[in-house]
Amino acid sequence: MVTDAGAYSVDPARFGKVAVLMGGWSAERTVSLNSGQAVLDALLRAGVDAHGIDVQRETVLSELAEGQFTRAFVVLHGPGGEDGVMQGALEVLGLPFTGSGVMASALAMDKYRSKQLLEGAGIPTPPYLVLDDDFDPDYVAATVGLPLMVKPALEGSSIGMSKVDEIEDLPAARQQAAAFKGKVLAERWIEGREYTVAILGDTPLPAICLETPHDFYDYEAKYQANDTRYLCPCGLAAKDEQRLQRLALAAFQALGAEGWGRVDIMCAQDGTPFVIELNTVPGMTDHSLVPMAAKAAGIGFDELVLRILTQTLKLEQEDTHVRAG
């Protein structure tokens, strides 16, 4: 069997029958299908009895219940898969699953709620306002400042986001973001460098610096462009990178996230870091950042996938202990 799992060893029979949940009905469906296929291929290479499920709202619960699965690898991005909905369904079905639980998934998916929580925990995040239907552009510009980012609170992959440089462009940006479910946020633009820190278990992986000719790291830069640069090593001094890693882990833990994830951070020109958002089901495509960070830490893709899935064995043991008690 050809695998890059290296020295990491786990008996694939321990996992039983694994459902790899991908697709879904969010705007990130295509990315999820690509991520899910990569995860499925890795599990099959490792000898795991894994089966891909293209999640459809009407049939997924019956497929999971009738398929006699023993656990699930969640590779669903966006609403319906990353926001606690699928996690809640899996809890009801009694299936251990990868990643964060219901509450942490819901909090991390909601940029508004997560920013409130981060602020309460003393973790720096850019100033922001909620843009209601009758918002005052002058007040927003005076309070948040220009330029700023307008973004839907409940979408990922930079979908619906836009940078606003001029006050007269605010209404159109708000309208674009309002096409998606949930609140619309105006967030202060942080001039500086963008970094991301992946978390595996309770360990931050090497930071990655993102460079793109686009205004920001948007959907095209993430998944389609060939001119996006990923710097790993990130170019920071060791103490500065460790500072970002500690901040990322603090944000991850503040939201109650578990298993694995990714924290996006902007560093202002004076070096001040700001947590932008947390992803509880990051991408696993050939453009994705978690596999890139894992590789820098000496963890190949197949091993990464096995490490994530192995965490469900511990969850299963904990659940059995609770029921027995």
Catalytic residues: 28, 157, 223, 262, 264, 277, 279, 283
- Three-state secondary-structure class, residue 305: helix
Output the CA angle 198-199-202, nearest 5 degrees: 165
Single-letter amino acid code for the residue at 283: G
How far apart CA 68 and CA 95 sit, in angstroms, is 10
CA–CA distance from 49 to each of 97, 180, 295, 312 (Å)?
15, 37, 25, 15
Q: What is the 3-state secondary structure (H, E, C) of 253-264?
A: HHCCCCCEEEEE
Q: Exposed, middle or buried by CB within 10 Å (0-12, 13-18, 19+), for 227?
A: exposed
Torsion angle of alpha carbons 217, 220, 223, 228, nearest 10°? -50
The length of the chain is 325
Rg (CA), the chain: 20
Cis peptide before 233 (omega within 30 of 0): yes
- Token look-up 């799992």 returns 5
- From 142, 133, 83, 134, select the one nearest 113 (Cα to Cα): 83
Cβ neighbours around 121 below 10 Å, total: 14
